[in-house]
């Protein structure tokens, strides 16, 4: 894969929108990644291939230079601890908000709250910046259950429509970050494949 250009996409809700953006700049996979078990796809452009990965893995593959370019949510980029990434473009898809949420009818809270989240680094930074001491509990999904069951006092999670919070008797309380999908580029690929990568960035800017 070294000679050509590899683009890593995030699977899940945002994949269709990512593929639409690529199609708009003339890059189309030879089969539909949404309905295939394959992980790497050749495209209508001989030198371009596409990988479809979990969100956090997109940043890892791009940071290690296995993929040259990636499309990754700001939520996972905030958590990512690696380096060697440029973030040249907000792709303005996958928009949502990273919020603190808690029970609509919240009981008295202790001075030191338990916060359930999968965004542990971001949550730690958020509370540290406010000088508030909290205990972070790492969860991998269904965060909304934590305040309902008493596992945690509040959660830090993504909110899009707010339906999941509402369905579980929770309300959004504090905004941590506006989230959207970003284009990320491996720093050394940006130098060695500069013309090709700049033309893709320029084309994406044109269609946004």
Find the binding residues for ligand PRP in span 143-162 (CB under 6 A): 143, 157-162
According to the binding rule CB under 6 A, does residue 57 interact with ligand PRP?
A: no
Q: How far is the CB of 103 from ligand PRP (least distance, A)?
A: 16
Task: Choose between 80 and 190: whose C-beta lies nearer to ligand PRP.
Answer: 80
How many Å apart are CA 72 and CA 74, to the nearest integer?
6
How many Å apart are CA 45 and CA 157, to the nearest integer?
38
Distances from the Cα of 4 to the Cαs of 28, 61, 140, 154, in angstroms? 15, 15, 35, 46
According to the binding rule CB under 6 A, does residue 164 interact with ligand PRP?
A: yes
The neighbour count for residue 108, using CB atoms within 10 Å, is 4
Q: How far is the CB of 155 from ligand PRP (least distance, A)?
A: 9
According to the binding rule CB under 6 A, does residue 35 interact with ligand PRP?
A: no
3-state secondary structure of 84: coil
Q: How far is the CB of 163 from ligand PRP (least distance, A)?
A: 4
Task: Choose between 88 and 162: whose C-beta lies nearer to ligand PRP.
Answer: 162
With contacts defined by CB under 6 A, how many residues of the chain interact with ligand PRP?
Answer: 10
Give Rg (Cα) of the chain: 19
Assess contact for 168 and 145: CB atoms under 8 A.
yes
Give the interface with ligand PRP as residue ranges (CB under 6 A). 141, 143, 157-164
């Amino acid at each position: 894969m070294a000679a050509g250009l590899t683009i890593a996409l995030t699977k899940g809700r945002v994949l269709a929108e990512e593929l639409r953006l690529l199609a708009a700049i003339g890059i189309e996979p030879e089969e539909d990644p949404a309905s295939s078990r394959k992980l790497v796809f050749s495209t209508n452009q001989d030198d371009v291939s596409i990988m479809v990965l979990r969100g956090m893995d997109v940043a890892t593959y791009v940071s290690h230079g296995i993929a040259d370019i990636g499309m990754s949510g700001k939520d996972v980029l905030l958590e990512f601890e690696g380096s060697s990434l440029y973030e040249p473009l907000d792709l303005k898809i996958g928009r949502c908000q990273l919020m603190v949420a808690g029970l609509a009818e919240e009981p008295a809270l202790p001075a030191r709250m338990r916060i359930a989240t999968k965004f542990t680094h971001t949550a730690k930074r958020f509370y540290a910046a406010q000088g508030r001491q909290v205990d972070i509990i790492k969860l991998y999904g269904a965060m909304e259950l934590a305040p309902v069951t008493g596992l945690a006092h509040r959660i830090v999670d993504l909110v899009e429509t707010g339906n999941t919070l509402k369905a579980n008797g929770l309300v959004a309380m504090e905004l941590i970050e506006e989230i959207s999908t970003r284009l990320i580029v491996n720093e050394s690929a940006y130098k060695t494949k500069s013309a090709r990568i700049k033309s893709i960035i320029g084309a994406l800017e044109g269609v946004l």
